[in-house]
Amino acid sequence: MNVAVREAAAAPRREFFGHPWGLAFLAGTETWVSFSYYGMQSLLVLYMSGQLLKPGHVEHILGFKPFHVALQGLYGPLSGQPLASAIAGLYAALIFA
């Protein structure tokens, strides 16, 4: 009698690939959260690039000129290396430059 009562009282558990159903619900929720986050981030990039690339708009952005100067200072010297290497040769451009 006790065995029959225990078996009847235990409700069948819903499982998702051997895991509790709540874990599948949580994974689905996190998937949609990530999808919406990265989707909105990509839309923001498209909107901002559309606004920044309008003619005459970039010059009025606060802080763009120092950023532009910093990028030129960082990557400017690297642009002369291929030219010097082609003219003087790789060894001479690296050693005597």
Mean of the pLDDT values across residues 19-34? 92
> Are 75 and 48 part of one and the same domain?
no
> Are 48 and 77 part of one and the same domain?
no
Residues 31-80: tens digit of each pLDDT: 999 999 999 999 999 998 888 778 888 778 888 889 889 988 888 877 77
The answer to whether residues 89 and 97 touch, using CB atoms and an 8 Å cutoff, is no
Range of the domain at 31: 1-58
> Are 97 and 76 part of one and the same domain?
yes
> Are 5 and 31 part of one and the same domain?
yes
Number of domains forming the structure of the chain = 2
> Are 11 and 39 part of one and the same domain?
yes
Q: Residue 12 — φ and ψ, nearest 5°?
A: -65, 135
Element (H, E) at 37: helix 21-52
- Would the pLDDT of 88 be above 70? yes
